[in-house]
Amino acid sequence: MQSRRALLNMARFSLHDWGLSNELSEETINALRENGFTSKRAICTLNSKKVERLFSSLQPAQRLLLQEAVQELKDTPTIPHNAEATTTGNLQQKLDSGDSLSIADIMSIMGEALKASEKPTTATPKSSYENTEDKQLDGFAEQLDREVALLIEQRWAPATKRTNASHERSFVSFCERIGVPSVPASNNTIARYVAFLARDKSFKTVQQYVNIIRILHLDKEYPNPLNSNWTITSLLKGVKRSKGDTTASKLPLLPAHLLKIHSTLNFSQPQDCRFWAALLTGFFGLLRVSNLTCTGQEDCKSIRRCDVRFHKSGTVIEN
């Protein structure tokens, strides 16, 4: 009986499948389910204002995707409720009587549903004023959502974005390795990640890597799991005591090093001449590595040939 009853649900609307096909997140699908929007008919009652009011906790991008998915669902032809009820009733009678369902029965029921779907459905039309007002409000809200998403995207400097992206990849990769979700992360997952980082990283580096967990959770509107967390605080104190809190300083470049490098260069080669000029510029200018190299990013601060000015009293670098 259960296997035959399963046929009754074959052609029914699947909220989960519909959500995934429209790139909705599991959080959005669960929010629809919790608010009772589990059927096609219920979802079609949504509009932009309802989405903004009922699902304000979702990310702006997800609300936009939900609005577009609802509109697309409204534009597709639907099977009227009375036709679905008739089809369901015919099938239910067969199931209740204990009769087996033949292929002909199934084809007949599907034919009835198809015919019913071709019949136009009537709905109470809105006035032209209401339609215009709704379109204006929807367009205004969508524009604001786009501006919100853009401003949030611009909150970090390019260098900070790259650092956060690197730390996020590290944490997500770790969670995939042990088979647990990265957001929301359990206390045990965070503790394991701290121990994993402490294997080959300094205390301050561990702190920087762990901070991405806070950012990821707040971005998805979850509470900060690091806030007032006694276990993680105690674990970080243990890392600090065992690894120390001092930063390993880099050894300086000495004149002896310059002389040794000079002896290995062939100054008849242009590339060796360029390297020696860059090395002396960095040494006497007390420059950082980032001033002499470039990663190809927009915020590159390396010194170019046009930044150097030669004067009688010496050389000036303008950067």
Which has more confidence, 84 or 27?
27
Any domain includes 110? no
**What is the overall mean pLDDT for the chain?**
79
Which of 38, 56, 78 is the last residue before a domain boundary?
A: 78
Last residue of a domain, one of 213, 243, 273: 243
In a domain, 133, yes or no: no
Say if CB 31 and CB 62 are below 8 A apart.
Answer: no
Please write the tens of the pLDDT for every residue from 116-159. Answer: 655 555 555 655 555 665 666 677 888 888 888 888 888 888 88
Quick one: pLDDT at residue 9?
A: 43
Q: Are residues 10 and 67 in the same domain?
A: yes
For residues 181 and 231, membership in a common domain is answered with yes
Residues 236 and 287 in one domain: no
| 211-262 confidence digits (pLDDT tens) | 999 999 998 889 999 988 899 999 999 999 887 776 667 788 899 999 999 9
Q: Is the pLDDT of residue 204 over 80?
A: yes
pLDDT tier, 97 (very low <50, low <70, confident <90, very high otherwise): low
Global confidence as pTM: 0.43
- Residue-level pLDDT at 300: 63
Per-residue confidence (pLDDT) for residue 215, from 0 to 100: 92
More confident residue, 5 or 314: 314
Rounded distance between C-alpha atoms, residue 68 and residue 151, angstroms? 22
Say which residues have a Cβ less than 8 Å from residue 74's Cβ, sequence separation at least 6. 44
Spatial CA neighbour of 213 closest among 192, 243, 234: 192
The answer to whether position 148 is within a domain reads: no
**Do the beta carbons of residue 122 and residue 88 sit within 8 Å?**
no
Look up the CATH number of the domain holding residue 23: 1.10.150
Looking at the fold, whether 234 and 163 belong to one and the same domain comes out as: yes
In a domain, 278, yes or no: yes
| Model confidence band, residue 83 (pLDDT cutoffs 50, 70, 90) | very low
Mean pLDDT: which of 49-58, 82-91, 95-104 is highest? 49-58
Question: Does residue 319 have a pLDDT over 80?
Answer: no
Predicted local confidence at residue 123, as pLDDT: 53
* Average pLDDT score over residue span 297-316: 73
Confidence of residue 170 (pLDDT cuts 50, 70, 90): very high
- Domain identity same for 228 and 262: no
Instruction: Give the per-residue pLDDT at 2.
Output: 42
Residue 106 in domain:
no
Domain boundary among 219, 243, 267: 243
Residues 16 and 44 reside in one and the same domain: yes
Rounded to a whole number, what is the largest CA-CA distance in the chain?
Answer: 107
The CATH number that applies at residue 203 is 1.10.150.130
**Are residue 177 and residue 231 in the same domain, yes or no?**
yes
Does 114 map to a domain? no
175 and 231 inside one domain: yes
- Span 33-76, pLDDT tens digits: 888 888 888 888 888 888 888 888 888 888 888 888 888 888 87
Q: Is 293 inside a domain boundary?
A: yes
Residues 40 and 65 in one domain: yes
Say what the pLDDT of residue 65 is. Answer: 87
Q: Does the bond joining 184 to the residue before it have cis omega, within 30 degrees of 0?
A: yes
In this structure, the number of other CB atoms found within 10 A of the CB of residue 312 comes to 4
Higher pLDDT, residue 312 or 196: 196
State how far the alpha carbon of 137 is from the alpha carbons of 46, 56, 133, 316, in Å.
14, 16, 6, 58
* Residues 262/272, Cβ–Cβ less than 8 Å: no
Question: What is the structure's pLDDT at 3?
Answer: 41
Higher pLDDT, 294 or 39: 39
Whether 113 is in a domain gets the answer no
Question: Which whole number is the average pLDDT over 192-201?
Answer: 92
- Residue 13 CB partners (closer than 8 Å, separation 6+): 39, 40
Q: Report pLDDT for 13.
A: 72
Domain span at 213: 158-243
> Which range is least confidently modeled, 85-94, 97-106, 133-142, 283-292?
85-94
What is the number of structural domains in the chain? 3
| Segment 83-96 mean pLDDT | 53
